[in-house]
Amino acid sequence: MILHAAARSHGDGDRARVAVIASRRVGGAVQRNRAKRRLRELIRAVPLRRDVDLVLVARPRCVDAPFDELGAELIELCGSLEVLDTSLSAESRA
């Protein structure tokens, strides 16, 4: 998967905006929709900063890769782009 991020102004919305896309490279319509559903479910569990727009691009591996591996990869990508909301994750631990 590929993750693109763009910053927004702070007063613009109450949560991060995320788009999930899958081209025909992923497979037929059924495979593309499955990949997008899986990525949407994974991104829901990630604490994101409110001031970002993200585009998550599915790859063929997203269709049948283990859910845990995809989740770990997504967290790693979000961390490398610095879009994780560290204050939110600290609050949820308390």
Q: What is the pLDDT of residues 37-87, one digit of tens each?
A: 999 999 998 898 888 889 999 999 999 999 999 999 999 998 898 888 887
Residue 87 lies in a domain: no
The total number of structural domains that make up the chain: 1
Q: What is the CATH number of the domain that holds 69?
A: 3.30.230.10
- Helix, coil or strand: residue 22: coil
pTM for the complete prediction? 0.81
Q: Which domain holds residue 23?
A: 2-82
- Helix, coil or strand: residue 45: coil
Count CA atoms within 13 Å of residue 3 on its CB side: 23
32 pLDDT higher than 90: yes
Residue 10 lies in a domain: yes
